[in-house]
Amino acid sequence: MQEYFHSVRLDTDKCKGCVNCIKRCPTEAIRIRGGKAQIIESRCIDCGECIRRCPNHAKTAFTDNLQDLANYRWNIALPAPALYSQFNYEVSIEQILEALLSLGFDEVFEVALAAEYVSSQIHDYLENNTGNRPYISSACPAVVRLIQVKFPELIDHIIPVDSPAALAGRIAKCQSSARLGIPPEQIGVWFITPCPAKVTAVKQPVDMEISYINGAIGIAEIYGELLKNIGQNANNVKRTATYKGVGWALAGGETKATGRDSTLSAHGIQSVNDILEQVVLGKLNDIEYLECQACAGGCIGGPLMVQNRFVAEKNMKKRLEFIKNQGLNDDKEAQINYDPAEYALVKQKIEPRSILRLDSDIVKAMQKMELIEKTLARLPGLDCGSCGSPSCKALAEDIVQGHASETDCVFKLRERVKALAEEMVDLAQKLPPSLNKENEEGFYDRR
């Protein structure tokens, strides 16, 4: 197995080697080499920012597709709450779930319901633990990975509570296996995902050994089919989650559902980066809980969504208002008996994956640091990206680490060419003494 699985990939045919993606990547994980973007695997956190930025659609997300359902006897869809934002609120959640069934799933389990359980787990955890404030949500896998690679000192702040998707997968698989008498390995559980980060989280979880979810299917991948299959009837499914769980799709929905006072919600990968910097400096110790989402607007702004995020936000707000008033007319307790202990899993510690360290030897790292500063001082400081590195600073580091050379900078190259040209002009003017008529004085006269 490869060291890192990544959902975000490059379509080399479409890549024109422009610098849009390298400049926006929050972990500086992309370089242009040989006229094409190259993703540095150890740095990529699968946030999907490059997918948004690429004007040529050369950045894509690998997700599973409906054909994969054929490999299992029983298939369960786990729709992310954000899926509901892709439809006008007049299309009921039941209709959306029913449409999922008509795509070939045998059962649906709303991640929004698991989100409600997770909300109360978070509430209880915050009630009983104060040591690592502010606690940081574990729900967004791109944020968890950002912390691993760029903020390893904050790993202990990540709340040791499952993400709603992970919990939904576990409950759905275990319960259906018991109910139907089908072995768990013959049950396919599929997360209907708004983002590539979740695909990666499913394929290579950071905090548990195995994922109960078999794959993740991008919302954009099935959107057309879903639209076709939205019918008037929804007789085979019941909505299980209330507005609290569904609200997780929007930035701020999670903190609202936990019912805690001292919380803060940051969204958009750059804003998350900034707020985490503040946590490191000890500025936010009075905050109990920090909800961080890589996508602006929350999951409704995911790179695999179809609707414009503001439209999705409007849809979702309307829907929340609507189902809040409507309430649940069935007793969901009877439908799903949830005992946290039954599904408790020994979670693995999240390991740091720092990309920042220059050398395993401190002294050598210090020497490299000095060299980087000196190299940087010689570079033009325009951060144009033409060299294929995202900034002059990144190029300086690439040079010191042996991955680039100073003449990769077009301005340095020009300087060198200019110096060479001047020297050539200089040399061209020189003549051997036998031809040099201007210098007619005799050899001996010079003395």
Could you tell me the two tokens for 166? 């992970």
CB hemisphere CA count around 432 (13 angstroms): 2
For 292, residues 6+ apart whose C-beta sits below 8 A from its C-beta are 136, 137, 140, 143, 265, 266, 267, 272, 275, 276
Residue 283 binds to another protein (criterion: CB under 8 A): yes
Query: For another protein, how many residues bind (rule: CB under 8 A)?
Result: 23
Q: Judged by CB under 8 A, which of 65, 129, 354, 405 binds another protein?
A: 354
For 368, residues 6+ apart whose C-beta sits below 8 A from its C-beta are 358, 359, 400, 401
The phi-psi region of residue 298 (left if phi > 0; otherwise alpha if psi is between -120 and 50; otherwise beta) is left
Nearer to another protein, 401 or 439 (CB): 401
Minimum CB separation from another protein for residue 412, in Å? 23
Interacting span for another protein (CB under 8 A) from 71-79, 113-121, 150-158, 185-193: 150-158
Is 101 in contact with 237 (CB distance < 8 Å)? Answer: yes
Distance of alpha carbon 43 from alpha carbon 27, whole angstroms: 6
Phi, psi of 307 (to 5 degrees): -75, 150
Interacting span for another protein (CB under 8 A) from 62-70, 196-204, 279-287, 343-351: 279-287
Minimum CB separation from another protein for residue 365, in Å? 4
Phi, psi of 36 (to 5 degrees): -130, 150
Interacting span for another protein (CB under 8 A) from 16-24, 226-234, 357-365, 402-410: 357-365
Name residues contacting another protein, limited to 323-352 (CB under 8 A).
352
Nearer to another protein, 329 or 360 (CB): 360
Q: Considering only the C-alpha atoms of the chain, give the largest distance between any 2 of them, rounded to a whole number of Å.
A: 116
Strands 8-10 and 59-61 come out as antiparallel
Residue 369 binds to another protein (criterion: CB under 8 A): yes
Residue 359 binds to another protein (criterion: CB under 8 A): yes
Residue 296 binds to another protein (criterion: CB under 8 A): no
Residue 238, Cβ neighbours under 10 Å: how many?
A: 16
Minimum CB separation from another protein for residue 3, in Å? 20
227: helix, strand or coil: helix
Minimum CB separation from another protein for residue 152, in Å? 5
For 279, residues 6+ apart whose C-beta sits below 8 A from its C-beta are 134, 136, 151, 154, 157, 290
Residue 131 binds to another protein (criterion: CB under 8 A): no
Distance of alpha carbon 223 from alpha carbon 69, whole angstroms: 17
Minimum CB separation from another protein for residue 262, in Å? 13
Name residues contacting another protein, limited to 151-210 (CB under 8 A).
152-153, 155
For 128, residues 6+ apart whose C-beta sits below 8 A from its C-beta are none
Q: Judged by CB under 8 A, which of 2, 331, 357, 438 binds another protein?
A: 357
**Residue carrying the six token digits 């490299």:** 368
Nearer to another protein, 32 or 276 (CB): 276
Residue 130 binds to another protein (criterion: CB under 8 A): no
Binding mask 49-88 for another protein (x = CB under 8 A): ----------------------------------------
Residue 360 binds to another protein (criterion: CB under 8 A): yes
Alpha helices, H only, 18-103: 20-24, 49-53, 93-102
Minimum CB separation from another protein for residue 407, in Å? 25
Minimum CB separation from another protein for residue 134, in Å? 14
Could you tell me the two tokens for 424? 């050539």
Residue 132 binds to another protein (criterion: CB under 8 A): no
Nearer to another protein, 183 or 282 (CB): 282
Residue 282 binds to another protein (criterion: CB under 8 A): yes
Minimum CB separation from another protein for residue 185, in Å? 39
Name residues contacting another protein, limited to 404-443 (CB under 8 A).
none
Residue 290, Cβ neighbours under 10 Å: how many?
A: 26
Q: Which residues sit at the interface with another protein, rule CB under 8 A?
A: 152-153, 155, 277-278, 280-283, 352, 354, 356-360, 362-363, 365-367, 369-370
